[in-house]
Every structure is written in C-alpha cells, then in structure tokens.
Chain A
Amino acid sequence: MKKYLPLILMGLLAMLPLVGINTYLMHIIILVIMWSVIGMSWNLLGGYCGQVSFGHAAFFGVGAYTAGILYNKFQISAWWGLPASIVFVTGFALVIGYICLRLRGPFFALATLAMGVILRVTAENLSFLTEGDLGIMIRERTWVDKTWYYYIILLIAACTFYLVKKVIGSKLGYYFVAIREDQDAAESLGINTTLYKTIALCLSAVITGMAGAFYTNYMGYIDPKVVFALHDISIVAIMIVMVGGVATFWGPVIGSIIMVLLAEGIRSIPNLGAAHHSFFGVLLIVIIIFLPNGIMGDNPKLKKILRWGRTP
C-alpha cells in the first residue's frame, strides 16, 4: 500500500482539474507544488548531504532569468528556459560550488548566503541583459487557463520525487549521507567528498533552477528583488524542509503545504498581511525547539503530543 502511495497521489492530483476548482485555489495548489519541488531539491543538498544552503534563490533566480532573457532578448518562447536552465544553472552551480564547497558547516551556509545576494545585485545592475529593476515581463501568456501550468509543474514534481528517491536509494545517496555524518570519515573510506558534494549541489541547483524557469512562465513577470529574494526564496526553501522534516521524502511536500497556506492565510488578514515574515520566524523557532526533525521526522513524538492532548 505504502509503496503505491506516490502513484495513487499522482493519479488523484492528475484528475484534480477535471473536478473544476476555482482559479484562486488552482493558483495556491500550483504554488504548493512548485515549493515542494524547491523543498525536495534543497533537501537533497541540505538534508541528505548536510550542506545547508542559504542561497537557493541564486539558482531559482538564474533559472528564472534564463527563461526571461531567452524571451526578452532572443524572442523565443520562455518555455525554452526549462531545458536551457539546466545548462546555465549547472554552470553557475559549478562556479558557486568551486568557491563555497571547500568551506564546511556554517561557513558554507554564509558563503551561499553571500552568493545569493551577489547574484541579486548583479541582476539589478546588468540592465542591458536583465532590464535591471524594471524586470522582465512576458507579454503574451501561453495559456489563460491554469490547467496546463498545473500539469507541467506536477510533471516536474513527479520527476523530482522519483529522482530524489532513486538517488537516495543508490550509492550516491549513501555517499551523501556519509558526508553529512562525518566528512573526514567519509574521505578516509575512499569517498571523494568534493566530487560528491558538487554532484549534490548541481542536482539540487538544477531542480531549483527549473522551478525558477517555470515561475517566469507562470507568473509572467520577474525582477531581481522577487526571484533572488533572500527572505522569500532562500529562507522559505529552508523553512519548508525544516517544518516538513529534514532528510525525509514527504517532508518537503508537507512543509510546502503548510508554508504556502500559512503565508496566504496571514496575508489575507486585514492590516496584518505584511507581518507574515514575523510569523514565519516565530514558527521556525517553535519548530526548532519542539520538533527539531520536522513533522515527518518527529512523527512519533507528534502523535504522542496529540494523544496526550486528548486524554485530560
């Protein structure tokens, strides 16, 4: 039963548009799936390989701008950004990895944080390519209806889930976890830690980049402050995994459902909309104190708390 859960879920999700739900709800679901993809990719690097990145906005932004620039400068469909972003983001990931992956632990985290900011400032200033702060507008939308966007991101999510599952079950996954647990021990066991960390980074970056390219197509407008945002992309990617469960398959999915609904919920409260970041901050503190392994990771603990709550 449990083995077929992803397939059953996919089937149900594939039938969802046939039910005919309203546009706003569809938008939320698309966002949830997009964030699951980003969460899963972050989890691959941060959760399994233990390299905590505070700069995933860099890859998201590069992916988004690949699509945007292809459309704006070369007058071809922004959908070409999806395959093209694989190439460009891999290139960026190799450069960022070369610089950052020689650092360990918090130093790696800080270096990636800086990378994200550097790329944002670069995008703001390379206005001949990126139009700077004006941003890039996709003037003709491919579809008015959201159904096809939904199917595309669902396909990306399914592929990502399958890929993560395959990678983690293989030699690669064992090596990632070994590096997370003890890098020196891993090295002494014959694992080329630099190589495998770079592989983890590239995989993670490419998936995030594809989500970015999808974002450009879906939203139809990008600017550096949105797609390279530290608080709205990099931090949210971390939170999704932390809330859902680090190094679990379903953690990022659960996390993104919670985070997107929470963000939308708080934004819709009058006079309090802009405060959603404060709520995220409080939530993160609560999660770290009470559920350090996230909802999926601390499943037994959570059940205990709930049961305890029921019996007076």
Chain B
Amino acid sequence: MTPLLEVKGVSRFFGGLAALSDVTFQLYKGEILGLIGPNGAGKTTLFNVINGFYPPSKGEIFFRQQKISDMQPHRICKLGMARTFQVVKPLQRMTVLDNVIVSAYLRTGSREKAEKTAVETLHFTGLFEDRYVVSKGLPLGRRKRLEMARALATGPTMILLDESFAGLNPTELNESIGIIRKIKESGITIMIIEHHMKVIMAISDRIVVLNYGQKIADGTPEQTRNNPLVVEAYLGDAQNG
C-alpha cells in the first residue's frame, strides 16, 4: 500500500536553528495520525512545511505520489490537503457562511453549488445556527470549529488540524471529538497536533513524537505511552530527576 503522505528526511532551518531535522514518516489513507511533542518541538513548523508555507531546507514531501515540497500552499490545497491554524485566522469581517463559501469556491465556480457545500459543511460541524454571525464576534471555541469547517469545505482528501482542541471547554471538546470521528468516517485522512493527551490517545491510530525538531517515536498510542524516550522528553531525565 502506497502512503498518502510521505515525508522524507525533511529539515528546516531558521538561520542557524534547526527547527526540524531529518524528519521521516508516512501517513496512510484513512488514518488519524497524532503529532505530539513538548513546546517548541517543531510541530507547527512541520505543518507549515507540509502545507507549503515554508519550503523545506532539505528533504522531500510527496502527497498522492506527487512531489509537493516545491509547491505553493494554494496548489497543495487544490490537490486535496487542507489545514487549520493554531492561531485562528477567520476572515474577520465576513459572516461564518461567507467564510465557508470562500473555501467551497475552490471546487466550483457557481454560487449555488458553493453555498450548498458550505451549508452542508456548517451542518456537519454544528455551526449552522451561527451562519449569519460576523466571524469577528464568534467565541474562540466556535472560531476553532470554523477553521475546521473552512478546511472541510475545500473538499480535501487529507486534513491537517493544528490544536483544534486548545482552549475548549469540556462540552465543546466532546463535540469536537465527535466531529473528528465523523470526518474520519467520511473517508478523510487526518493529521492532528494536540496537547490534550487524553484526546490524542483516544482518537489517534498512530502517534509521531517530535522533540527539538527530531522524530523520537512513531507507533500506536500504547507503544508511545510506554516509550522511555517520550516519557523523558515530557518529564525530563529520570536518572537525574
């Protein structure tokens, strides 16, 4: 089985700092891959590199057997990879519905079709009630949801979620977990960054752990939990502690 996404030896330097060094992993169709690591481990940088915002300094990335590491973000999105932002970026002075219509226009030129897709997506993510709210006035939890809705409306085969659970209250958290399961059922592959360990252990099929820009573990949630390297990265060196 060929992987949907293949990251091969990717490094990214900012000046002298290696934000990512030699990261390699694969992602298969239908999986939920969790990406974890302590603060500053390079998780968001990895997303930005996969998504095309930063070209990798070294290495290559393939998506659906096409090399995407030299493409611009909009072309990668057109190929079927959508993302959300950790720091939410709603189109502030547009309504929620218009926000989603913008992304639905990617696969169609007609206003009716775009609106239809947008309304479906809003129902799917539970934002339909808020459709006429200007997105500037939306509370954070709903804005994170809007990020997801917008990414989904582009009709992706794979979606990158960057901390879509951070800052949510328990009710919103459960709703969002439900949405992610629904996304998986609809056949979309998911890669997710999350700090909330309980959530990530529960929903991920596989977890990749980054620390100081390097991949230190790659396995099932059970394997990851028991991996001494991961424990050390999070809790510090046991011998010296």
Contact = CB atoms under 8 A, between A and B. Distances in A.
A178 B91 contact: yes
Interface string A177-201: 1100110111111111100000000
Contacts of A185: 85, 89-91, 150
A182 B91 contact: yes
B103 interface: yes
B66 interface: no
Contact of B103 (A181, A190, A192, A193): A190
Contact of A188 (B73, B101, B114): B73
A190 B78 contact: yes
Interface stretch (B104-112, B193-201, B217-225): B104-112
How big is the B interface, by class? 20 to 34
Given A190-B77, A190-B154, A184 B106 contact: no
Nearest to B114: A171
Interface string B66-89: 000000111101100011010001
A75 interface: no
Contacts of B83: 188
Nearest to A187: B73
Contacts of B116: none
Contact of A187 (B74, B93, B94, B151): B74
Contacts, number: 74
B73 A177 contact: no
Contacts of B128: none
Contacts of B111: 169-171
B146 to A, nearest CB: 11
A245 B118 CA distance: 29
A148 interface: no
Contacts of A193: 74
A171 B105 contact: yes
A89 B235 CA distance: 63
Interface string A151-186: 000000000000000000111001101100110111
Contacts of B105: 171, 174-175
B102 A189 contact: yes
B106 A181 contact: no
Contact of B53 (A175, A178, A184): A184
A199 to B, nearest CB: 14
B46 to A, nearest CB: 15
B92 interface: yes
B51 interface: yes
Interface centre among A171, A175, A185 (most CB of B within 10 A): A185
A177 B94 contact: yes
B109 A171 contact: yes
A242 B89 CA distance: 26
A189 B51 CA distance: 11
Q: Which 9 A-B pairs have the closest CB atoms?
A: A190-B77, A181-B91, A185-B89, A190-B106, A189-B103, A187-B73, A178-B102, A192-B74, A182-B89
13 contacts: A169-B111, A171-B105, A174-B102, A177-B91, A181-B90, A182-B91, A185-B85, A186-B91, A187-B53, A187-B72, A189-B77, A189-B151, A190-B74
